[in-house]
Amino acid sequence: MSETGVAGLALSGGVSHQRRRDGMTVDNLVSADVVLADGRRVRASAAEHPDLLWALRGGGGNFGVVTSFQLRLHDLGPEVFAVNVAYPLEDARRVLAGWREAVADAPDELSTAGLIWSLPVVDELPEPLRGLPYVGVAGMWAGDPVEGERASRALRELATPLVDLSGVVDYLAFQGSLDPFFPAGVRRNWKALYLDGFSDPAVDLTVDWSNRRPSNETLVIVRHLGGAMSRVGDEETAFGDRSSEWMLSIDSTWHDAADDELNVAYTRAFWDASLAFSDGKTYFNFPGLLEEGDAAVRASYGRNHNRLAQIKATYDPENRFRLNQNIRPAGR
């Protein structure tokens, strides 16, 4: 999404189209200018307030208001190979399992996701396909597009596609290609969970619950992680553990307030059922309604939580910045 705000992206994770090649956005945060709770302005960098920089790289908005970011850049494009293929929903188990096997040893340049969604209602698609639920594979090759076409070919042959829109595109156009399908004002409850693995039983559960979606616009997506993301040590950034190769995100989306209870209950029940394949760690850029509260914060930060609480006590001892996935100051 081209409209994603840099602040939340750069403070709580940032899982981009080139995540396996270049790491997360937090891994590329070099420095930040921060207004603290007491009004002081400081710069967090390797040379100044390095403890604060460490905490900002995954600790979210707990430590102050970041007014500017300095980010490391990487060569990319301007053209890339985008993977975007839709298969019949009845092939969901075959496609998701096949995608899992195909990306097991994928090069870092290839970042993909398996998903269950509904095709958009647009003139570009044949009328029988408009709004049709499907299983798909989407992603990007962050390198030579010609190599990308070859490297992703197997992902476009997992079954007989309904439509294959993969091809060479301008990166900036690709980055904004989903904007029309996520308009402002829509009702949403998105919850993410790191999976211990994407085993056949986990595939079955994902497909079964996806078939129960109360809204045709709800997206269920499993992102393949690893690569450069996994080569950052657990304690190098506040983000913490990088061992999971799979992130399930339940992106419930609907329009009518009368359907709130139904859709929120679905999201919660799907998430709860998925805990059988997870240690309960969540991705804080998709927290949904974080009913788990402090327990989820502690579980997700793991061994880094105590260090974060100490840094919080240094920079925000009164916990002014608390309307978030809150890290309480040590001693409070």
Torsion of CA 228, 231, 234, 235, to 10 degrees: -100
Domain boundary among 231, 247, 277: 277
Taking the C-alpha atoms of residue 74 and residue 27, their distance in angstroms, rounded to an integer, is 12
Asked, for residue 331, whether it belongs to a domain, the answer is no
User: Count of residues for the chain?
Assistant: 332
pLDDT of residue 253: 97
Sheet (strand 29-35) strand order: 41-44, 29-35, 65-71
Per residue in 281-290, pLDDT (tens digit) is 888 888 765 5
Residues 67 and 115 in one domain: no
Q: What is the mean pLDDT of each run of 10 residues along the chain (332 residues)?
A: 89 95 98 98 98 97 97 96 98 98 97 98 94 98 97 98 97 94 92 96 98 97 98 95 96 97 97 94 77 77 95 98 93 81
Asked, for residue 53, whether it belongs to a domain, the answer is yes
Residues 124 and 182 in one domain: yes
Per residue in 112-152, pLDDT (tens digit) is 999 999 999 999 999 999 999 999 999 999 999 999 999 99
pLDDT of residue 34: 98
pLDDT of residue 218: 98
pLDDT of residue 292: 61
At 87, which CATH number? Answer: 3.40.462.20
Residues 217 and 157 in one domain: yes
At 39, which CATH number? Answer: 3.30.465.10
Residues 24 and 110 in one domain: no
Asked, for residue 85, whether it belongs to a domain, the answer is yes
Burial readout 101-120 (b: 16 or more C-beta within 10 A, e: otherwise): ebbeebebbbbbbbbbbbbe
Residues 41 and 99 in one domain: no
pLDDT of residue 133: 98
pLDDT of residue 300: 86
Asked, for residue 126, whether it belongs to a domain, the answer is yes
Residues 174 and 232 in one domain: yes
Residues 89 and 50 in one domain: no
pLDDT of residue 289: 59
**Domains in the chain, number:** 2
For residue 210, the enclosing domain spans 79-277
Burial readout 3-32 (b: 16 or more C-beta within 10 A, e: otherwise): eeeeebbbbbbbbbbbbbbbbbbbbbbebb
pLDDT of residue 79: 97
Q: Which of 308, 312, 270, 306 is nearest to 288 (CA)?
A: 270
Residues 46 and 114 in one domain: no
Asked, for residue 327, whether it belongs to a domain, the answer is no
